[in-house]
Amino acid sequence: MKPILITIALVLFFAAAKAQMTDTSKKVNADSAKKWIPVDVEPMPPGGVMGLYQYLEKNLKYPKVAKANNVQGKVRVEFVVEKDGSLSNIKVTESLTPETDAEAIRLIQNCAKWTPGSARGMPVRVRYSVPVKFELP
């Protein structure tokens, strides 16, 4: 189990996070004024990356239908870590089944606030992606 957690932690650590900045120097359409730039400091879940995976492992409730059908794999969930550390815009970007997708979303929705990321010394919104693994013993 430890090698799996270490592998997951490394994948998450090397995943690229992008911060959203608003360019206020030009008057243009609000949607086109937002751009994603690299962050100086990545957002961090409570307890760090290992804390996140311990939370996911402890709180994951394997869907009964998925368990009965021996469904295994991963669901990738993307979200935005806001400037205050809350999580928003939670969506599945890599699906397994509707039941496992809903469980992965539930887990991320119930996460405690994160330490926000920063760019140029200021807290920024950061788009983040996390794989949630569904494995039967």
Boundaries of every domain in the chain: 2-134
Q: Share the mean pLDDT of the chain.
A: 82
> 14: pLDDT confidence band, cut at 50, 70 and 90?
very low
What is the rounded average pLDDT of the residues 103-124? 96
Tokens linked to 84: 């205050």
Q: Under CATH, to which class is 2-134 assigned?
A: alpha beta
Give residue 125's region: left, alpha or beta (phi > 0; psi -120 to 50). beta
Q: What is the pLDDT of residue 112?
A: 96
CA separation for the pair 91, 19 (Å, rounded): 17
Mind listing the pLDDT tens digit for each residue in 89-112? Answer: 999 999 999 999 999 999 999 999
Tell me the pTM. 0.75
CA separation for the pair 101, 92 (Å, rounded): 7
Scan for tokens 């996070």, then name that residue: 17
Rg of the chain over all Cα atoms, to the nearest angstrom: 16
